């Protein structure tokens, strides 16, 4: 079972490497060689420098010619994008350009919206997730999601994290305890809440709630983590904590993050994809895209001329 | 990678058969269908006895006859006296309840402070929850003697008696529905009028009430439908004399009271007398349904206007 | 504001009229409350002396002074217990289906319109349905089961509509979070939506049961007896009667002493009903505050 297998994953403590993500920004933008502390010098941690390097990486998710329709309205036009495993891919673009729509295609949350339609293929590893008879429940356990606005269940902190494993059929209390603790540690929340796991999650601060939602998503043992503007409703300090967290989580998970904020994309991601009016205009290594955009639209967007 | 090797690739396209989900879906569908079955059942049962009834009593006699005397020989089945009695009682109730109810609704929505509203609404809910038979008791034991003191010529059971208690019964309905529509009138409309130097009376009667008028009308219709279908109070208070009179101090019989009378009597199933309650029930059903459908239509249009 | 209008020439009375109108509306409200007060005062005054343990535990009698309400009281409790057992699962199930399963289709619109109209059907018509269907066709006679089935149909629209409202009040983000964690539809409903909407559903259930407790018309139509000597033992076959029917019967008697007994029975009925109402208000207040989205 995925959940127990995941217990072999490396556990990263929040204190070990927290500041890295934030310091990255200025370096990346001025395109100096990034300096990383030893903890980050792992295969997964190194930022790929060139498009060629990105292309060589194994792909966790591959979207090919994806079109998406809300009824008559086509929200995505022929999207082709590979998401490299154990790296962070950021989706940027002006609001309404289809970032969230694309993200929700990856765990088929769009299925829940009446009258929508998908064309093209999306592979998770080598399986087409839109193939008939695909079990979306199984898919969503492997592709977790964190929403823009934190949305903990009106239950205890413990029950929030234990929910995913529970609905997957985990009954044993010890196993659940272990998962809850591990996921709270992974999401750097454990120290803050370890004494009040049985209090309502709604009493946590906004930033804590969002980290709880991340912990909750980790508890199903996903391979991929989708994040839709996870920090947009948070204050700067909480935002920083969530960004640090993303930086650590990519050792274990493949992350796709939607962000409105280009600095954030530059800080946390390895690959960036720029969407505009439902088209994928350009995708490439983050540092390349921000310093040497190939397309005029991309350049105009990142230099703040629109959006 | 070591990690992925420990996670056997899960087969997305060969889902476990979620038979429980399908069973539950089917069970819930049956629950929802029960409501449709109820309607079908009502129509079927009413027709099953009404059709044989109308073989013996022509539709023309039934709907145009002015005499209702099932026990005469030959029996007379002209429903007009029953409809007359029903209309007299319901009309009287409307005359009593509409001004009182509308005044109260206007007070609650336009004038009352929140504490007053919070104190009054539960009390009105209590009034709404008092069973019909209790109002019948009040009519017989308290109101009727009082009326006969004021109008010595009044019958012991009379239409006015019934109108008064039915009026009180439909008050909470008029108040709560009208208050809802009054409160749904946008603030901006009120403020616009105040800005022109109008008094509170000008605003309320010149702006708010006209804007909510269709919804208020709908609440009247629903309340009248309720008054028409009202049974126990009317049976106890109005008497059992099917006659066409406009004098509210006379004893009359409503359609509902007739159904109760026959149900309590010993008419054998299959006789025209017993079958007549199905024909009367059908008439009652169609009348109230028409009022309800009409009111719902008005409410729907009103909701669309302000949402 | 009113002073502004007063400055206008030609309308010197406007502020006064406005004031008078407010007073008139307030008087309407006070009058409604006074009606409720007078009604309760008269009934309690009339029946209070008659109310004692012997009255509650007594069997029916043709002597008004010896009559008790044990049989109708127990009958009413059986009736609403069974009604709850039937109407709550079916009603909540239908609400869940409409809110969580039914796509925005014609089918759903039809059911929804149908329920709104059923809510306005007079209860005596349900009684006729019960007579034709449960009493005659299925052959349940005048038993508690026949009464409860009929009463379930009466309250079903109330249960469905209030449960739907409660489910709709659960934010969509809760559903999305649950589905995104790999929960199935039923797991989402069972573990998230039903617990979150429980206070609202319970409120609706209590209100519908208090309706069932006070209704007499459907019972009259299916032919439930007004005088029954024994508490029913077999719910499928034995005759029963209910509290509102007993009140109806006593009110219809010319003898003043029966009217006193009726008033005492009304006190019992109203006490239970107001208690249920208070419980509903309490639930809404308590849980309405606890969960703040
Ligand atoms: N539920 C929906 N129904 C219909 N149209 C939608 C829905 N959600 C999004 N859209 C449309 O799809 C387009 C892309 O939206 P979205 O993916 O939310 O953009 P982004 O996340 O980049 O801001 C927009 O034009 C939006 O209006
Ligand atoms: Mg978005």
Per-residue pLDDT reduced to its tens digit, C229-271:
888 888 888 899 999 999 999 999 988 899 999 999 999 999 9
Find chain C residues with C-beta within 8 A of A144's C-beta: 180-181
Mutate to test the pocket of ligand 1, among A70, A111, A148, A276 (most ligand atoms within 8 A of CB): A70
Cα C284 to Cα A219: distance, rounded to the nearest angstrom: 34
Per-residue pLDDT reduced to its tens digit, B188-225:
888 888 888 788 898 999 999 999 999 999 999 999 99
Residues B135-151: what's their mean pLDDT?
Answer: 95
Per-residue pLDDT reduced to its tens digit, B29-76:
999 999 999 999 999 999 999 999 999 999 999 999 888 988 887 888
The pLDDT of residue A22:
37
Which ranges of chain A have pLDDT less than 70? Answer: 1-46, 305-307
On whether residue B113 sits in a domain, the answer given is yes
**Number of domains comprising chain B:** 2
Cα C212 to Cα C154: distance, rounded to the nearest angstrom: 8
CA distance A153 to chain C (A): 6
The minimal CB distance from B13 to the residues A133, A142, A223 is found for: A133
Same domain, B41 and B158: no
Same domain, B49 and B130: no
Closest ligand 1 atom to A94 CA = 22
Q: Which of C189, C163, C164, C155 is nearest to C87 (CA)?
A: C155
Question: Which protein residue's CA is at the shortest distance from atom 26 of ligand 1?
Answer: A96
Report whether B208 contacts B181 (CB < 8 A). no
Q: How confident is the model at residue C64 (pLDDT cuts 50, 70, 90)?
A: confident
Cα A136 to Cα B7: distance, rounded to the nearest angstrom: 19
Cα B61 to Cα A200: distance, rounded to the nearest angstrom: 70
Write out residues 104-163 of C within 8 Å (CB-CB) of B.
110-111, 113-118, 120-129, 131-133, 136, 153, 156-157, 160
Which domain does B17 fall in, by range?
2-56
Same domain, B139 and B12: no
**DSSP-derived secondary structure for chain A:** -HHHHGGGSPP--HHHHTTHHHHHHHHHHTTPPP---GGG-STTTSPP-SHHHHHHSPEEEEEEEEEEEETTEEEEEEEEEEEETTSEEEEE-STTSSHHHHHHHHTTGGGGSTTEEEEEEEEETTEETTSTT--HHHHHHHEEEE-SS----SSBHHHHHHHHHHHTT---HHHHHHHHHHHHHHTT-HHHHTT-TTSBGGGS-HHHHHHHHHHHHHTT--SEEEEESTTTTS-HHHHHHHHHHHHHHTTTSEEEEE-S-HHHHHHH-SEEEEEETTEEEEEEEHHHHHHS-SSHHHHHHHTTS--
A227 phi and psi angles, rounded to 5 deg: -130, 120
Question: Which protein residue's CA is at the shortest distance from atom 18 of ligand 1?
Answer: A100
The pLDDT of residue A26:
38
Q: Within a 10 A sphere around the Cβ of C38, how many other Cβ atoms?
A: 12
Residue A109 Cα to ligand 1 midpoint, Å, equals: 13
CA-based radius of gyration for chain A: 19
Question: Which protein residue's CA is at the shortest distance from atom 27 of ligand 1?
Answer: A96
Residue A257 Cα to ligand 2 midpoint, Å, equals: 11
Give chain A's length.
307
The pLDDT of residue A7:
36
Residue A261 Cα to ligand 1 midpoint, Å, equals: 18
Residue A79 Cα to ligand 2 midpoint, Å, equals: 17
- Mark out chain B residues that contact chain A at CB-CB < 8 A: 1, 3-4, 6-16, 18
Beta-carbon pairs below 8 A across chains A and B: 43
The pLDDT of residue A32:
36
Place of tokens 């059992």: B240
Does B126 sit within 8 Å of C132, measured CB to CB? no
Helix H or strand E segment including C144: helix C144-168
CA distance A144 to chain C (A): 6
Q: How confident is the model at residue B305 (pLDDT cuts 50, 70, 90)?
A: confident
Same domain, B9 and B123: no
The pLDDT of residue B307:
65
A15 lines ligand 1 (CB under 6 A): no
Same domain, B27 and B80: no
CA atoms within a 13 Å half-sphere pointing along the CA-CB vector of B168: 28
Same domain, B202 and B179: yes
Token pair for A159: 């029950």
The pLDDT of residue C288:
64
Token pair for C278: 């208070």
CA trace torsion C92, C95, C101, C106 (10° rounding): 150
Cα A73 to Cα A50: distance, rounded to the nearest angstrom: 36
Same domain, B136 and B233: yes
CA distance C123 to chain B (A): 7
The pLDDT of residue B71:
84
pLDDT greater than 80 at residue C155? yes
Residue A145: closest C-alpha in chain C: C180
pLDDT greater than 70 at residue C289? no
Q: ipTM value, please give it.
A: 0.92
Mark A64-97 as b/e (b = at least 16 C-beta within 10 Å).
Answer: eebebbeeeeebbeebebbbbbbbbbbbbbeeeb
**Looking at the DSSP assignment, which residues form a beta bridge with residue A284?**
A272
Residue B5: closest C-alpha in chain A: A5
A271 lines ligand 1 (CB under 6 A): no
Does B7 sit within 8 Å of A223, measured CB to CB? yes
Same domain, B179 and B129: yes
Cα B262 to Cα C34: distance, rounded to the nearest angstrom: 37
On whether residue B129 sits in a domain, the answer given is yes
Report whether B123 contacts C278 (CB < 8 A). no
Residue A76 Cα to ligand 2 midpoint, Å, equals: 13
Residues B233-241: what's their mean pLDDT?
Answer: 93
Token pair for A269: 């991601």
CATH of the domain at B235: 1.10.3720.10
Q: Within a 10 A sphere around the Cβ of A34, how many other Cβ atoms?
A: 15
pLDDT greater than 50 at residue C283? yes
On whether residue B31 sits in a domain, the answer given is yes
SS3 B125: helix
Report whether B160 contacts B92 (CB < 8 A). yes
On whether residue B234 sits in a domain, the answer given is yes
A109 lines ligand 1 (CB under 6 A): no
CA distance C54 to chain B (A): 22
On whether residue B63 sits in a domain, the answer given is no
The pLDDT of residue A44:
46
C194 touches B at CB < 8 Å: no
Q: What is the mean pLDDT of chain B?
A: 90
Beta-carbon pairs below 8 A across chains A and C: 68
Q: What percent of chain C has pLDDT over 70?
A: 95
pLDDT greater than 70 at residue C11? yes
Q: Where are the beta strands (DSSP E) in chain B?
A: 68-69, 76-77
CATH architecture observed for domain A2-6+38-152+223-302: 3-Layer(aba) Sandwich (3.40)
Helix H or strand E segment including A60: strand A59-70
Residue C257 Cα to ligand 1 midpoint, Å, equals: 73
Residue C101: closest C-alpha in chain A: A112
Does C244 sit within 8 Å of B131, measured CB to CB? yes
Question: Which protein residue's CA is at the shortest distance from atom 16 of ligand 1?
Answer: A98
Final residue belonging to a domain, choices B56, B84, B99:
B56
Q: Within a 10 A sphere around the Cβ of C258, how many other Cβ atoms?
A: 19
CA distance A115 to chain C (A): 10
Report whether C133 contacts C226 (CB < 8 A). no
Residue A252: closest C-alpha in chain B: B3
Does A6 sit within 8 Å of B10, measured CB to CB? no
């Amino acid at each position: 079972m995925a959940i127990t297998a995941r217990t072999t994953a490396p556990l990263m403590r929040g204190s070990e490497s927290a500041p890295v993500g934030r310091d990255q920004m200025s370096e990346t933008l001025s395109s100096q060689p990034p300096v990383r502390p030893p903890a980050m010098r792992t295969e997964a941690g190194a930022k790929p420098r060139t498009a060629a390097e990105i292309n060589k990486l194994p792909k966790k998710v591959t979207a090919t010619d994806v079109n998406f329709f809300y009824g008559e309205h086509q929200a995505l036009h022929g999207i082709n994008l590979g998401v490299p495993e154990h790296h962070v891919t950021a989706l940027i673009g002006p609001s309404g350009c289809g970032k969230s729509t694309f993200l929700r295609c990856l765990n088929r949350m769009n299925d829940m919206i009446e009258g929508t339609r998908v064309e093209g293929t999306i592979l998770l590893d080598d399986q087409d997730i839109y193939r008939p008879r695909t079990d979306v429940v199984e898919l969503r356990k492997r592709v977790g999601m964190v929403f823009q606005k934190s949305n903990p269940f009106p239950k205890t902190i413990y029950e929030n994290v234990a929910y995913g494993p529970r609905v997957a059929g985990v009954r044993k209390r010890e196993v659940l305890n272990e998962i809850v603790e591990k996921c709270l540690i992974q999401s750097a929340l454990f120290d803050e809440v370890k004494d009040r796991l049985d209090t309502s999650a709604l009493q946590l601060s906004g930033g804590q709630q969002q980290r709880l939602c991340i912990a909750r998503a980790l508890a199903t043992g996903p391979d991929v983590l989708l994040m839709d503007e996870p920090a947009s409703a948070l204050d700067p300090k909480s935002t920083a904590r969530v960004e640090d967290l993303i930086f650590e989580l990519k050792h274990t998970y493949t992350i796709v993050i939607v962000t409105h904020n280009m600095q954030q994309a530059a800080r946390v991601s390895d690959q960036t994809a720029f969407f505009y009016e439902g088209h994928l205009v350009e995708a490439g290594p983050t540092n390349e895209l921000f310093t040497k955009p190939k397309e005029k639209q991309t350049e105009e967007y990142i230099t703040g001329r629109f959006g | 990678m070591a990690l992925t090797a420990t996670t056997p690739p899960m087969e997305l396209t060969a889902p476990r058969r979620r038979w429980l989900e399908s069973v539950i879906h089917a069970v819930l569908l049956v629950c929802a269908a029960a409501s449709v079955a109820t309607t079908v059942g009502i129509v079927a049962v009413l027709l099953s006895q009404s059709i044989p009834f109308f073989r013996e009593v022509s539709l023309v006699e039934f709907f145009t006859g002015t005499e209702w005397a099932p026990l005469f020989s030959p029996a007379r089945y002209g429903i007009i006296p029953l409809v007359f009695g029903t209309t007299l009682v319901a009309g009287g109730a409307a005359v009593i309840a509409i001004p009182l109810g509308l005044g109260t609704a206007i007070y609650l929505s336009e004038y009352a402070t929140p504490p007053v509203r919070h104190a009054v609404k539960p009390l009105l809910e209590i009034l709404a929850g008092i069973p019909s038979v209790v109002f019948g008791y009040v009519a017989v034991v308290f109101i009727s003697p009082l009326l006969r003191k004021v109008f010595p010529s009044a019958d012991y059971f009379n239409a006015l008696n019934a109108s008064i208690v039915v009026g009180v019964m439909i008050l909470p309905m008029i108040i709560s529905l009208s208050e809802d529509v009054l409160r749904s009138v946008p603030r901006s409309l009120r403020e616009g009028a105040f800005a022109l130097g109008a008094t509170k009376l000008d605003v309320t009667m010149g702006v708010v009430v006209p804007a909510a008028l269709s919804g208020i009308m709908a609440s009247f219709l629903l309340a009248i439908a309720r008054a028409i279908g009202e049974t126990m109070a009317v049976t106890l208070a109005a008497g059992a004399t099917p006659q066409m009179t406009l004098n509210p101090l006379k004893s009359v019989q409503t359609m509902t009271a007739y159904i109760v009378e026959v149900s309590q009597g010993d008419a054998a199933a299959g006789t025209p007398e017993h079958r007549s309650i199905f024909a009367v029930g059908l008439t009652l059903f169609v009348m109230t349904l028409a009022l309800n459908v009409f009111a719902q239509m008005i409410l729907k249009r009103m909701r669309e206007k302000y949402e | 504001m009113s002073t502004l209008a007063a400055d206008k020439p030609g309308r010197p009375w406007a502020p006064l009229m406005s004031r008078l109108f407010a007073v008139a509306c307030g008087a309407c409200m006070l009058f409604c409350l006074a009606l409720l007060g007078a009604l309760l005062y008269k009934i309690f005054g009339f029946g209070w002396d008659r109310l004692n343990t012997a009255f509650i535990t007594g069997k029916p009698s043709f002597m008004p002074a010896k009559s008790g309400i044990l049989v109708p009281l127990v009958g009413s409790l059986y009736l609403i217990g069974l009604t709850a057992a039937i109407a709550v699962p079916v009603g909540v199930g239908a609400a869940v289906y409409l809110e969580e399963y039914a796509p925005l289709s014609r089918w759903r619109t039809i059911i929804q319109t149908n329920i709104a109209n059923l809510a306005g059907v007079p209860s005596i018509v349900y009684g006729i349905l019960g007579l034709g269907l449960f009493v005659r066709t299925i052959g349940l006679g005048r038993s508690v089961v026949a009464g409860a089935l009929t009463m379930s149909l009466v309250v079903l629209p109330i249960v469905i509509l209030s449960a739907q409202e409660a489910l709709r009040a659960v934010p969509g983000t809760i559903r999305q979070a649950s589905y995104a964690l790999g929960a199935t539809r039923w797991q989402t409903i069972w573990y998230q939506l039903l617990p979150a909407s429980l206070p609202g559903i319970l409120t609706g259930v209590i209100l519908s049961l208090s309706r069932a407790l006070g209704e007499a018309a459907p019972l009259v139509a299916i032919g439930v007896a007004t005088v029954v000597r024994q508490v029913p033992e077999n719910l499928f076959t034995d005759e029963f009667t209910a509290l509102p029917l007993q009140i109806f019967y006593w009110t219809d008697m010319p003898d003043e002493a029966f009217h006193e007994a009726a008033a005492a029975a009304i006190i019992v009925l109203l006490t239970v009903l107001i208690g249920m109402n208070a419980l509903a208000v309490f639930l809404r207040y308590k849980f309405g505050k606890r969960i703040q989205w």
